Structure 1
Amino acid sequence: MHEQLSPRDQALEARLVELETRLSFQEQALNELSEALADARLTGARNAELIRHLLEDLGKVRSTLFADAADEPPPPHY
């Protein structure tokens, strides 16, 4: 036989269900945030590599244009 729950037990059960539901949503949100963080880290690493290559290319272009340091224009603050 199934025993009828007291109002107090019903309230506790309802609260437990609510907490379990909240936990489930928080776990889902945590997983989504974890995936987003992993994607952001990957994008950051790609961007850092791209900047490194661009700086290398810029250095090559500058060395080609200004083979002698005396030919290089002075910095803007002069």
Structure 2
Amino acid sequence: MSENFNKITTSLAELEAKIAFQDHTIEELNQALIAQQFMLEKLQYQVRHLAEKLHSVQPSNVASRAEETPPPHY
């Protein structure tokens, strides 16, 4: 009976250690996810800001190469 009790106690201790390790891992993953979400929101804001800036830029007065007349030939 004592041997059986020792096996159960050992198994229980191993399970508790695994659960503690999993809790720690889950917390680390949660913190990484929070950091990534923050970075994603920051990048989305920057992309929106750059897109708004791009749309607000006035078109250039210089014609594109396709629109320019070819230079005169001598």
Fold shared per TM-score above 0.5? yes
Distance of 1:11 and 1:56 partners within structure 2: 67
CA RMSD of aligned residues (A): 2.0
Pick from 11, 16, 25 the counterpart of residue 15 of structure 1. 11
Structure 1 residues 18-57: aligned runs within 5 Å: 18-57=14-53
Q: Which has the higher contact order (CA 8 A, sep 6+)?
A: 1
Bigger Rg, which one: 2
Q: How many residues align?
A: 65
3-state DSSP of counterpart to 1:65: coil
1:65 aligns with 2:51: no
Spell out structure 1 runs of 4+ moving beyond 2 A: none
Amino acid at match of 2:56: K
Per-residue deviation, residues 15-68 of structure 1 (Å, max 9, x unmatched): 00000000010000000000011001100100010000000011012xx116xx
With normalisation by structure 1, the TM-score equals 0.74
Structure 2 regions of 5+ residues with no counterpart?
64-74
